[in-house]
Chains A and B, each alone.
Chain A
Amino acid sequence: MIENLDLGMVNWARAQFALTAMYHWIFVPLTLGITWIIAFYHSIYVKTGNEEWKRLTKFWMKLFGVNFAIGVATGIIMEFEFGTNWSNYSWMVGDIFGAPLAIEGIFAFFLEATFFAVMFFGWNRVSKGFHLFSTWMVAVGSNLSAVWILVANAWMQHPVGQAFNPDTARFEMQNFAEVAFSPYAINKFTHATSSSMLMAAFFVISISSWYLLRGRHIVMAKRSIVVAATLGLLASVFTIFNGDESAYEIAQVQPMKLAAFEGLYEGQTNAGLVAIGLINRDKKVYDQQEPFIGFNVHIPGLLSLMANRSFGSFVPGMKDLVYGNAEHNILGAVQKMERGKKAVASLDAYKQAKKADDKAAADVHLASFNEYKEFLGYGYLNKPEEAVPPVALSFNAFHVMVILGSLFPLIFLGYLYFSYKGNLAEKKWLLGLGTITYLLGIMASQAGWIVAEVGRQPWSIQDLLPTTIARTNLTASTVQTTFFMFLALFTLLLIAEISIMVKQINIGPEEN
């Protein structure tokens, strides 16, 4: 089947979705994270009554407003793309995603229309207590409104609590709690929100460091840094811990993704984690080339510990997962394809029997389909090697994320240490580094999503629906046109945001 499809369209549709999602994700983490930081600033103002804290709170609120305004509704474009480019997928998951995403839309609207307005317009208009409550509610509500989209994404990576209905061609929700509270979903939510907090902390630190280097707004910058660095340190340590928990979940439900982002072709016991290495882009799962070019440094046993919580345990490599490994009782894509093709054939036979009104035959074929349905997606692969995601991109993105993520707590610690010593303004090297930390945060965050989404290829829904079947039959040129339109629109919007943001940063906080 796949050879008859226009793969160019699939790749263009994927590129368009990636462009939209990555652009959207420039704004979302800052919104999620900075609302907490602003809530802390606002709380300190209400507690101390010190006008400097009010001025500081209003300044960061203004920058948050710029980010929010430019970013708002950019996510809606993804919904357009679902209906046009990914119609099969949209239809199949409608029962799982429809209600939660609608609730999220309504919830976000009412939240933004009430508490958001009170937060911005409420100075001297409502009581201090209600004003502060509204600021906290914006933080709580913004983060809660991210829950369902992250639950939906987690479900695609680990589709629990569902059953496929062969009459309607839909995945139907069987257990809401299993979907909403799957460990994968919880890890995804905590990882996304805590990493957003650290990104927002870097946003504050970048701008405040620039002020300190310029000798402007020194008191405000120092105060902003102390709160942001404290929250950022907590968030960065938490992000490392729940990132480790995410890796454990991935090892259990998406072992191919884990093997790809570690460049692990041959399964190993006591498998080491690659600390640094240059992946061989030309290597294929079936050839004998070396996976790394030149030197690479492994930390012995750490990958086994991460994947199975045991140093000596076996971590399957891509070859094991493609061709199978009887010794370790691992079913390969080769065997799964046989079962998947039986599932597809049974589904087809069931459909024909229903059309012929042959109930007895339909029951037999349905039973056969149910026996093999967990391998349905493999029935659409032509070669077992298609089950391997792009290894080099997954590996590089994962290591960029991990290396930067490991560096982040040290940067926050450095800021806190010199703030405590009272000589932060003299540490030009740290302030220089600080001005680019927000960019580093964006890089790590985007790399994380590349690991999550490229690493799960070829699947739209893990093991059940490959991207080649999830799509609509359109020509590549149709998608190319809108891809470049989005590129132009997003570039203009980004220029607008950066211009307004830079102007506001230059102006600085309002004078008392």
Chain B
Amino acid sequence: MNGPPEHRPPLLLRIYQFYRDGFRQMTVGRTLWKIIFIKLFIMFAVLKFFFFPDFLATTFSTDAQRADHVIDQLTQSAQGYTNPVKGERL
């Protein structure tokens, strides 16, 4: 005599449960995740935001201006040239 058919949750639910249970069973992994999040916060919210602006992206508005600036940098030994000051938007 056959028993009741086995109920299998949908694939997405099973994937979710797989990850959920995996994370719950972590031991040293919990500490490691904390370190990863602290590190990412320091990198992106502090270092990138306050100390590492993209110079060309923040100083110039268009790609044409950026290209002109770099060409000027490449050719300034052949002519008089004044560099733009960092943060001065052209």
Q: Point out residues on A near B: beta carbons under 8 Å.
A: 1, 62, 65-66, 69-70, 72-73, 76-77, 80-81, 83-84, 87-88, 90-92, 117, 120-121, 125-126, 166-170, 341, 344-345, 347-349, 351, 379-380, 469, 472-474, 481-482, 485, 489, 493, 496, 500, 504
B35 contacts which chain A residues (CB < 8 A)? 69-70, 493, 496
Q: 7 interchain pairs (CB within 8 A)?
A: A65-B29, A69-B29, A117-B18, A125-B21, A474-B55, A482-B52, A485-B51
Tell me if B75 counts as interface (CB < 8 A to partner A).
yes
Tell me if B2 counts as interface (CB < 8 A to partner A).
no
CB–CB A73/B40 < 8 A: yes
Known contacts A73-B39, A77-B43, A168-B67; A344 and B77 CB within 8 A of each other: yes
Please give me the residue from chain B that is nearest to A2 by CB atom.
B77
Known contacts A83-B52, A485-B47; A121 and B74 CB within 8 A of each other: no
CB–CB A80/B19 < 8 A: no
Q: How far is the CB of A487 from chain B (nearest CB, A)?
A: 13
CB–CB A88/B33 < 8 A: no
A73 to B38, CA, bound (A): 12
Task: Fill in one digit per residue for B53-90: 1 if any A CB lies within 8 Å of its CB, else 0.
Answer: 11111000001001100110111111100010010000
Tell me if B28 counts as interface (CB < 8 A to partner A).
yes
Known contacts A88-B73, A473-B86; A489 and B42 CB within 8 A of each other: yes
CB–CB A117/B19 < 8 A: yes
CB–CB B55/A348 < 8 A: no
Please give me the residue from chain B that is nearest to A83 by CB atom.
B54
A379 to B75, CA, bound (A): 10
CB–CB B67/A493 < 8 A: no
Known contacts A69-B36, A80-B47, A84-B54; A117 and B78 CB within 8 A of each other: no
CB–CB B74/A76 < 8 A: no
A1 contacts which chain B residues (CB < 8 A)? 76-77
CB–CB B36/A73 < 8 A: yes
CB–CB A80/B73 < 8 A: no
Tell me if B4 counts as interface (CB < 8 A to partner A).
no
Number of interface residues of B (CB under 8 A): 39
CB–CB B71/A121 < 8 A: no
A166 contacts which chain B residues (CB < 8 A)? 71
CB–CB A84/B53 < 8 A: yes
CB–CB B78/A345 < 8 A: yes
Please give me the residue from chain B that is nearest to A84 by CB atom.
B52
Tell which of A66, A126, A345, A493 touches B28, judged by Cβ atoms closer than 8 Å: A66
A76 contacts which chain B residues (CB < 8 A)? 43
CB–CB A65/B57 < 8 A: no
CB–CB A167/B67 < 8 A: yes
CB–CB B55/A87 < 8 A: yes
CB–CB B47/A482 < 8 A: yes
Tell which of B21, B42, B74 touches A469, judged by Cβ atoms closer than 8 Å: B74
CB–CB A469/B52 < 8 A: no
Known: A73-B39, A80-B52, A472-B86. 13 other contacts (CB 8 A): A1-B76, A66-B28, A80-B47, A84-B54, A84-B55, A88-B74, A91-B56, A92-B70, A121-B19, A125-B22, A344-B75, A469-B73, A500-B32
A379 to B70, CA, bound (A): 16
A504 to B79, CA, bound (A): 62
A73 to B32, CA, bound (A): 13
A379 to B66, CA, bound (A): 22
B25 contacts which chain A residues (CB < 8 A)? 121
B71 contacts which chain A residues (CB < 8 A)? 166, 169, 347, 351
Please give me the residue from chain B that is nearest to A62 by CB atom.
B28
CB–CB B39/A493 < 8 A: yes
Task: Fill in one digit per residue for B9-32: 1 if any A CB lies within 8 Å of its CB, else 0.
Answer: 000000000110110010011011
CB–CB B56/A348 < 8 A: no
A84 to B52, CA, bound (A): 6
A474 contacts which chain B residues (CB < 8 A)? 55, 86
Shortest 7 CB-CB contacts between residues of A and residues of B: A121-B22, A1-B77, A69-B32, A83-B54, A348-B78, A348-B75, A80-B52
